[in-house]
């Protein structure tokens, strides 16, 4: 039998496989990495435009409650102290997010928590069993917050009327009765000072990386490795033989402007239904950039996913989850292929969860 050249074939050069590759190298293992894009880093890839670090595929703020994960990631880069404080724009009005006492003051001029609680309590729908997203949201936060800050944004994001979305999408909507605009309730958060590319360059520096390479068009390459870690979509791996899983996609429209400051904040969400994009990013505000006299903004448009589009968000309806489990059962027939990462697991993971799962998987299989 021909000896394999690599211990692991890593399909996809995103965060999961980057961490896996780094850990494997520490144990003297060899990794071959196939990436269908022209760069490593997956959706965390950054570009430098006019001396501004641009998050090419949307904003990514690393945040976690797990101190060990935070300390682990700090070996790859230095993090800024960026705190995510988005704003919501609704029909020429600005509101703070997440929903907190600043938001309630902007809505109703309430100054005390009790006053805001009383208004929300009066507006809430009293429903024991909400039948759809709209009913669920109204039962949680009431009419004003829902109509101005949730309904339009959600319908754009999902491409559906809120009444047609299942209630389970939102089990809760956090309401903060403090004047705190920090979006994440995590003690550790920030953005790599030089962007995310530094992390991937360090993690993959000892791997053989092949870019512009589609594994599904060259599956025979799997014979070069003892085991395959596949982070693409599981249904595509099986040629959709059991049916297609559903995803949402995105389109990004970036623009370099000859002004130093466009909107004064890193992210502003557009929560009305009529505006076609969900948010505008101004990248220099992610990095406290005063170097450039220009600015780069990106408008983010949600898209219906179809084969050939990039699958950004799994749609975890009952039907999709049941179909995914059928694919998962089928995957157990694979002798040396492990499906991992956000797409392989058909789940939305935050970055700290992705790192934790990559570390756990490597520890689980490294002695096999």
Q: Assign residue 29 a region (left: φ > 0; alpha: ψ between -120 and 50; beta: otherwise).
A: beta
Residue 1: pLDDT over 60: no
Distance CA 258, CA 295 (A): 7
State the pLDDT at residue 57: 96
pLDDT tens figures, 295-327: 999 999 999 999 989 999 898 888 999 999 999
Share of the chain above pLDDT 90, in %: 89
At 3, the pLDDT band (50, 70, 90 cuts) reads low
Which has the closest alpha carbon to 272: 155, 97, 133? 155
Number of Cβ within 10 Å of residue 243's Cβ equals 12
Residue 5: pLDDT over 60: yes
User: Please, are residues 120 and 175 in contact by the beta-carbon 8 Å criterion?
Assistant: yes
State the pLDDT at residue 2: 55
Structural domain boundaries in the chain: 6-83+188-243+314-365, 87-169
In the three-class reduction of DSSP (H, G, I as helix; E, B as strand; rest coil), residue 44 is classed as: helix
Dmax over CA atoms of the chain, in Å, equals 76
User: Please, are residues 286 and 44 in contact by the beta-carbon 8 Å criterion?
Assistant: no
What is the separation of C-alpha 120 from the centre of its chain, rounded to a whole number of angstroms?
Answer: 30
Average pLDDT over residues 197-211: 97
Average pLDDT over residues 198-211: 97
Average pLDDT over residues 251-261: 97
Which has the closest alpha carbon to 287: 47, 61, 82, 63? 82
pLDDT tens figures, 214-243: 999 999 999 999 999 999 999 999 999 999
Annotated catalytic sites, by residue?
172, 176, 248, 279, 300, 348, 350
pLDDT tens figures, 338-367: 999 999 999 989 999 999 999 999 999 987
Distance CA 153, CA 177 (A): 23
Could you tell me the fold of the domain covering 6-83+188-243+314-365?
A: Rossmann fold (3.40.50)
pLDDT tens figures, 66-87: 999 999 999 999 999 999 999 9
- Give yes or no for a cis peptide into 264 (omega within 30° of 0): no
Share of the chain above pLDDT 70, in %: 99
Which residues 6+ apart lie within 8 Å of 282 measured at CB?
261, 262, 263, 264, 265, 266, 267, 295, 296, 297
Name the DSSP letter for residue 314.
E
Torsion angle (degrees, nearest 10) of CA 281, 14, 310, 353: -70
- Predicted model pTM: 0.93
């Amino acid at each position: 039998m021909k000896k394999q050249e690599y211990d692991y074939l890593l399909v996809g050069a995103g965060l999961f496989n980057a961490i896996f590759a780094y850990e494997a190298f520490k144990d003297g293992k060899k990794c071959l990495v196939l990436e269908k894009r022209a760069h490593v880093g997956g959706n965390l890839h950054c570009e430098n435009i006019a001396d501004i670090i641009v998050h090419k595929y949307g904003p990514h703020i690393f945040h976690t409650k797990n101190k060990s994960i935070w300390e682990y990631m700090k070996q790859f880069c230095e993090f800024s102290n960026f705190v995510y404080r988005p704003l919501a724009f609704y029909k020429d009005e600005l509101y703070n997010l997440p929903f907190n006492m600043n938001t309630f003051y902007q809505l109703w001029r309430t100054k005390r928590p009790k006053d805001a609680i009383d208004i929300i309590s009066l507006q809430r729908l009293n429903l024991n069993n909400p039948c759809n997203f709209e009913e669920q949201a109204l039962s949680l936060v009431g009419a004003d917050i829902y109509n101005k800050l949730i309904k339009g944004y959600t319908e754009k994001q999902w491409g559906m009327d809120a009444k047609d979305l299942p209630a389970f999408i939102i089990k809760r909507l956090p309401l903060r009765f403090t004047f705190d605009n920090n979006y994440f309730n995590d003690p550790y958060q920030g953005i790599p000072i030089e962007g995310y590319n530094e992390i991937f360059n360090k993690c993959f520096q000892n791997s053989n990386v092949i870019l512009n390479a589609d594994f599904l068009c060259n599956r025979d390459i799997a014979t070069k490795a003892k085991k395959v870690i596949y982070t693409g979509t599981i249904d595509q791996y099986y040629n959709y033989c059991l049916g297609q899983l559903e995803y949402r996609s995105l389109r990004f429209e970036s623009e370099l402007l000859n002004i130093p400051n466009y909107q004064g904040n890193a992210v502003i969400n557009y929560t009305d239904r009529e505006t076609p994009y969900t948010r505008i990013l101004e990248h220099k505000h992610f990095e406290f950039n005063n170097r450039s006299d220009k600015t780069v903004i990106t408008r983010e448009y949600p898209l219906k996913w179809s084969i050939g589009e990039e699958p950004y968000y799994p749609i975890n309806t009952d039907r999709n989850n049941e179909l995914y489990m059928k694919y998962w059962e089928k995957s157990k027939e694979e002798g040396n292929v492990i499906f991992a990462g956000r797409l392989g697991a058909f789940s939305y993971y935050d970055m700290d969860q992705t790192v934790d799962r990559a570390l756990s998987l490597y520890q689980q299989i490294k002695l096999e």
